[in-house]
Amino acid sequence: MNDWMPAVDAYRNAVVTGNSGAVAAHLSDDVVVETNFGRAEGADAALALLRPAALRLTEEIKSAVNGALGNQTPMLIGYTDERGEIHLSFRGTIQARSDEQLALWAREPEGGLPRNIAVRPNVTLFYHDPASRTTYSFYGRARIEADPAARAAIYADSPARERQMDFRQRGVAIVVDLDRVEGRGPGGRVLMVR
């Protein structure tokens, strides 16, 4: 076995878990790391590629999410049903609600997503724009928004063509409290944890 294999294994484990402690002992001061998340020269820079930041959606991420439908890159949301099956659906109303939340309007209040998040709130949302090589995965807990003012704001912030499909506003507003965001944007690697 090569002497460098433990270092590679430690780095790969740190990429997956976000725990960079074990890899530090394997890095020399002149290490160069090139990944799809970026290039790092030196031990400190290589470790910085592995460390998660505090979860706070950047303007770049918010802009991508809010412009997804208009950009022809509608987002996916995944949730789990009562049989444990995972469902994926494109949603045109996904929007950045705050620095730590996404939201969306679901036209069918008795549909699969609203019905299932009441019991199984964990969801995953996915954004991908091949033109800019941008990919974000959002992990969080979804809930129906009961506050009338917040509900109205989520509906109002949805794209016009989506609002027209529920002009009587019979649907429900859903808020996703984010726990983790990962991926890659124009600014490089994204790894944020609440």
Kindly report the CATH number assigned to the domain that includes residue 72. Answer: 2.30.110.10
**103, pLDDT greater than 70:** yes
pTM of the predicted structure, to 2 decimals: 0.82
Do residue 9 and residue 28 come from a single domain?
A: yes
| Mean of per-residue pLDDT scores for the chain | 91
Give the lowest-confidence range in 119-123, 155-159, 190-194: 190-194
**11, pLDDT greater than 80:** no
Q: How confident is the model at residue 37 (pLDDT cuts 50, 70, 90)?
A: low
Do residue 150 and residue 88 come from a single domain?
A: yes
Do residue 71 and residue 87 come from a single domain?
A: yes
Domain that residue 92 falls in: 59-193
Do residue 91 and residue 182 come from a single domain?
A: yes
Do residue 33 and residue 89 come from a single domain?
A: no
Do residue 144 and residue 115 come from a single domain?
A: yes
Do residue 31 and residue 113 come from a single domain?
A: no
Q: How confident is the model at residue 24 (pLDDT cuts 50, 70, 90)?
A: confident
Do residue 76 and residue 31 come from a single domain?
A: no
Count the domains in the chain: 2
Do residue 67 and residue 145 come from a single domain?
A: yes
**163, pLDDT greater than 80:** yes
**36, pLDDT greater than 70:** no
Do residue 118 and residue 151 come from a single domain?
A: yes
Average the pLDDT over 142-171 and give the result: 97
E strand or H helix at 101:
strand 101-106
Rounded (5°) CA angle 88-90-95: 115
**144, pLDDT greater than 80:** yes
Do residue 130 and residue 176 come from a single domain?
A: yes
